[in-house]
């Protein structure tokens, strides 16, 4: 409950455009079904979403370096705001004619999704499948949301000033579907527009840290993260205005 109270207090720090709602579902394909079958159903659902005027986007995550990951893929859906979230769910439950399932999806969970930094590249330079990294984070004794968001803005300006391009930085906070007690306060997400952008950041990060030594130290005073896992993301559709 402490983290949710702090989250609401910190809402004032961000414009509406930087706050989203997202959902995740962990899925295993049924026998003789493929990831292409799941993508095909998702694409057709995107057509339905557009036809009813809902604002929703969806992508698939597949593990790269994610330990003993027990699922074939993760469905990642997002809405621009809470109103859009419940309108889309309403049309899905009441108006959508669901096809035969090709996967068993479990652990449906929703989060508050804060975009706290970005430097995009042109669409023609973006990969169809993009790298994403997740890490579970806990606040230190002196850390809180206000300090976290303030530090993110400083870190964003330094990453851009150095010249890193083609990346986005998000913080996810539990919303719906989570247990009462969980072992983290938020999830940190970095995703890149291309593997080239990711490779450039990996190659030059030591040099970046030497020029901006406070960048990582600033965050470490606020939160500690562990359990980093990497996936690739494949975008399926978006019907945001």
Per-residue pLDDT tens digits for 165-176: 999 999 999 998
Q: Quick one: which of 161, 156, 163 has its CA closest to 219?
A: 156
Please tell me whether residue 233 adopts helix, strand or coil conformation: strand
209 close to 215: Cβ distance less than 8 angstroms: yes
What pLDDT score does 1 carry? 37
Domain of residue 48 covers: 2-238
**What Cα–Cα distance (Å) separates residue 46 from each residue in 39, 41, 43, 236?**
10, 9, 5, 8
Please tell me whether residue 84 adopts helix, strand or coil conformation: helix
pLDDT at residue 13 is higher than 80: no
Tell me 32's DSSP state.
Answer: T
Please tell me whether residue 147 adopts helix, strand or coil conformation: helix
pLDDT at residue 67 is higher than 80: no
What pLDDT score does 181 carry? 63
Low-confidence winner among 52-56, 94-98, 104-108 (lowest mean pLDDT) = 104-108
The tally of domains found in the chain comes to 1
Across 32-59, average pLDDT? 95
For residues 45 and 238, give the distance between their C-alpha atoms in angstroms, rounded to a whole number.
Answer: 11
Q: What is the pTM of this model?
A: 0.88
For residues 93 and 88, give the distance between their C-alpha atoms in angstroms, rounded to a whole number.
Answer: 9
How many Cβ atoms from other residues are within 10 Å of residue 124's Cβ?
5
Per-residue pLDDT tens digits for 111-153: 999 999 999 999 999 999 999 999 999 999 999 999 999 999 9
Band the pLDDT of 241: cuts 50, 70, 90.
Answer: confident
Dihedral sign from CA coordinates of 157, 160, 136, 206: negative
Q: Quick one: which of 223, 108, 231 has its CA closest to 174?
A: 108
What pLDDT score does 6 carry? 41
Band the pLDDT of 5: cuts 50, 70, 90.
Answer: very low
How many Cβ atoms from other residues are within 10 Å of residue 87's Cβ?
17
Higher pLDDT, 59 or 64: 59
Helix pair 82-94, 35-52: axis angle to 10 deg: 110
What pLDDT score does 2 carry? 39
**H or E element that contains 154:** helix 145-162
What pLDDT score does 9 carry? 39
What pLDDT score does 180 carry? 63
Q: Quick one: which of 39, 19, 21, 20 has its CA closest to 29?
A: 39
pLDDT at residue 3 is higher than 60: no
CATH code at position 142: 3.30.70
For residues 111 and 13, give the distance between their C-alpha atoms in angstroms, rounded to a whole number.
Answer: 18
pLDDT at residue 10 is higher than 80: no
Choose from 11-20, 28-37, 65-74 the range with maximum mean pLDDT. 28-37
Half-sphere exposure of 25 (CA within 13 A, CB side): 14
**Mean pLDDT, the chain, whole residue set:** 89
Helix pair 145-162, 195-211: axis angle to 10 deg: 100
Across 47-75, average pLDDT? 91
For residues 197 and 191, give the distance between their C-alpha atoms in angstroms, rounded to a whole number.
Answer: 10
């Amino acid at each position: 409950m402490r983290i949710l109270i702090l989250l609401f207090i910190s809402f004032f720090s961000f414009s509406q455009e930087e706050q989203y709602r997202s959902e995740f579902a962990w899925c295993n394909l049924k026998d003789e079904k493929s990831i292409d079958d799941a993508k095909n159903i998702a694409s057709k659902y995107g057509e339905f979403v557009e036809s009813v005027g809902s604002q929703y986007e969806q992508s698939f995550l597949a593990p790269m370096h994610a330990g003993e990951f027990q699922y074939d893929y993760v469905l990642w859906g997002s809405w621009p705001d809470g109103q859009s979230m419940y309108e889309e769910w309403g049309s899905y439950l009441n108006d959508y004619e669901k096809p035969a399932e090709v996967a068993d999806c479990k652990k449906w969970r929703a989060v508050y999704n804060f975009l706290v930094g970005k430097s995009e590249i042109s669409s023609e330079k973006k990969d169809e499948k993009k790298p994403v990294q997740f890490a579970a984070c806990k606040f230190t004794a002196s850390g809180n949301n206000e300090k976290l968001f303030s530090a993110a803005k400083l870190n964003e300006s330094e990453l851009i000033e150095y010249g890193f391009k083609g990346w986005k930085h998000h913080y996810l906070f539990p919303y719906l579907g989570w247990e009462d007690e969980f072992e983290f306060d938020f999830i940190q997400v970095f995703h890149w527009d291309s593997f080239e952008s990711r490779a450039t950041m990996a190659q030059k990060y030591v040099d970046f840290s030497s020029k901006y030594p406070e960048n990582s130290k600033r965050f470490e005073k606020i939160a500690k993260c562990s359990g980093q896992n990497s996936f690739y993301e494949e975008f399926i559709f978006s019907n945001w205005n």
